[in-house]
A = this chain, B = another copy of it.
Amino acid sequence: MLDCEVTEIIEKLEFDKIRLDLPTYNATQISSQIGGAGNKVWVTFYRGVFDITDFVKRHPGGERIMNAAGSSVSPFWQFYQLHYRIDVLETLAKFRIGNLETPLDETPNMNYFDKEPPRNPTVITRTSTPFCGETPPALLPQNFYTPNDLFYVRNHLPVPTVDTSAYRLTIQGVGIPLSNFSLSLDDVKQKFAKIRMPVTLQCGGNRRSQMGEVKPTPGIGWTGGAIGNAVWGGASLRDVLTSAGFNWTNYTETFRQNKLHIQFEGLDCDPFGDCYGASVPLHFLLDATYTPLLVYEMNNASIPPDHGFPLRALFPGLIGARSVKWVSKILISEEESPSPWQRIDYKIFAPSVNEDNVNFNSASAIYDAPVNSYICSHKNGEVVERGMIRMKGYAFAGRGRGIVRVELSFDNGDNWQVVKLTRQDSNYSWTQWEIEVNVTSAMDVWVKAVDTGYNQQPEDLKHIWNYRGLVVNAYHKIKLNI
């Protein structure tokens, strides 16, 4: 069922009404626009007919919008429910050119998400279908290794139910001699040395809700809890590719030229046959000190369904979206993954780019993410008592650039105090920090971190605002009241 707010907007925007100022079309007239004289893309929603020809290339879900071309968007929206949102509906309304003669049944009648795993209610639900859950930031400093049931979840599709006895990981593509090479889960566990590694994963959209202080951005409204740290256990991806016959020496020069990508596909799919996918430039693996994994353990337990059971790719230091969960296919290719989450979403544009002028091809996929820090122990506007308080938080930088320093300012940047780093591990793991502060009156608190490349965070969100609300890493600024 659609919630009341959405139903109200549908009524307000007159999607459910015949508009007398517009012509009326039947289903055949609508579907025949594609390939017709004007080669237009028309879709319907309730009684509305919309010409979305010019919007197709700006669709954040990419070419998948063409599945609905010539008919109703509802079957797709009933699955990709993020479309039932004010800004999306308002955008659609702009393209209305007519009325649909015979309305279709628009009632959501399918539940694609009826096999989701149980979840800890402490995790804050940001979206339920697909499930995106955020760790309450205040809980993050309690553990250096985030407990599995508290670890943030960013799913893009329903969680697949995997029969491990039938599960195979197939590996194909450039440099793989066999066309039918595959491994069972036991193969992955038994044929390769198990490597345990502490690695922090962070969603590319962590802290997005703060971007809204400048100007709202679509996407999940994470605060600072779309990040977690765990000890992951699994096989070295390099070892697995070697076992599939990949000869690294032969490809050194090709990698240098950044010509090969390693594509991953998950078992999480939509009802229309598309599955989650992502890719990473294969030259990242030529650094012998960098060890991506195929993990089956998370904090010494079997990896939970929400985190990719039975097998997840794990790329330390890259945004979470590249660590494909429920991975079933690996393809070495001269192309990036065709997935819209690789080619369209998870891209960053200049502050001047918006929904109306975006060109997704003009930007590269994000892999790395910049230095970031966050105050977990206190919220903006929180009321505290006078006296000593203990502030805690985290800092993290991408691609193994460790944190050299975290600084707090209580006077809007005039002075910066270096805080105590309570725990650091490898450079792929976050840094936790804390400080005792004597509160005598209401105060502003700013935090920033410095990484081993001496990158500093930008001060002001306004200057890094981007249309998709990604890698939000301006100073975290909060106000404490008394």
Contacting pair B415 A454 (CB below 8 A): no
Contacting pair B460 A352 (CB below 8 A): no
Closest chain-B Cβ to A49's Cβ sits at a distance in Å of: 36
Q: Is A255 an interface residue (CB 8 A)?
A: yes
| Stretch in A57-65, A160-168, A285-293 with 4+ CB within 8 Å of B | A285-293
Query: How many protomers of this protein does the assembly include?
Result: 2
Report A359-382 CB contacts with B as 1/0, cut-off 8 Å.
000011011111100000000000
Contacting pair A448 B471 (CB below 8 A): no
Q: Is A196 an interface residue (CB 8 A)?
A: no
Known A-B contacts A455-B455, A457-B458; the reply to A289 vs B286 at CB < 8 A is yes
Chain B contacts of A350 at CB under 8 A?
A: 405, 407, 416, 418
Q: Is A227 an interface residue (CB 8 A)?
A: no
Q: Is A245 an interface residue (CB 8 A)?
A: no
Q: For window 442-473 of chain A, which residues contact chain B by CB distance below 8 Å?
A: 448, 450, 452-460, 462-464, 470-471, 473
Chain B contacts of A460 at CB under 8 A?
A: 413, 459
Closest chain-B Cβ to A218's Cβ sits at a distance in Å of: 19
Q: Is A417 an interface residue (CB 8 A)?
A: yes
Contacting pair B363 A404 (CB below 8 A): yes
Closest chain-B Cβ to A465's Cβ sits at a distance in Å of: 9
Chain B contacts of A369 at CB under 8 A?
A: 453-454
Q: Which of B416, B417, B458 contacts A456 (CB 8 A)?
A: B458
Q: For window 315-373 of chain A, which residues contact chain B by CB distance below 8 Å?
A: 348, 350-352, 363-364, 366-371
Q: What are 19 A-B contacts defined by CB distance under 8 Å? A: A252-B288, A255-B288, A286-B289, A350-B416, A351-B407, A352-B415, A366-B454, A367-B452, A368-B401, A368-B453, A369-B454, A398-B453, A401-B453, A414-B462, A454-B470, A455-B455, A456-B464, A457-B458, A458-B459
Total contacting residues, chain A, CB less than 8 A: 50
Q: Residue among A369, A450, A455, A471 with the most chain B CB within 10 A? A: A455
Known A-B contacts A453-B368, A453-B399, A454-B368; the reply to A289 vs B471 at CB < 8 A is no
- Excluding A287-B290, A453-B455, A454-B470, 9 further A-B contacts by CB distance (< 8 Å) are A287-B287, A287-B289, A352-B416, A352-B418, A368-B454, A371-B455, A413-B460, A416-B463, A448-B463
Closest chain-B Cβ to A203's Cβ sits at a distance in Å of: 14
Closest chain-B Cβ to A431's Cβ sits at a distance in Å of: 14
